[in-house]
Amino acid sequence: MSINYRDAIYKDEEEMFVLAAKLATSFKLSRTDFSRTYQEVLSSKDVDLFVAENESGIIGYV
C-alpha cells in the first residue's frame, strides 16, 4: 500500500469533511462552517493544506 502526499484541492472537500468529523471527538462538526472554512483555507495565499491518500482515498491531512 503506497501513500501519496499532495496539495488539497476543492474537490477533496467531502472526503476531508468526513475525515475531520471522525477526528472531532469533543464537538459536532458543522458542515456549513467546515465548507466555509475549507474554501477560505484553499483560497488563502498564506496557508498550505496537504492531504495523504492511498488507494481507498484521503487518510490524513496537515
Residue 38 to residue 49: CA distance in whole angstroms: 10
Residue 58 to residue 53: CA distance in whole angstroms: 4
Beta bridge partners of 50: 7
DSSP state of 30: P
Return the C-alpha cell found at 34.
Answer: 467546515
Q: What is the pLDDT of residues 1-49, one digit of tens each?
A: 899 999 999 999 999 999 999 999 898 999 999 999 999 999 999 999 9
Q: What is the pLDDT of residues 47-60, one digit of tens each?
A: 999 999 999 999 99
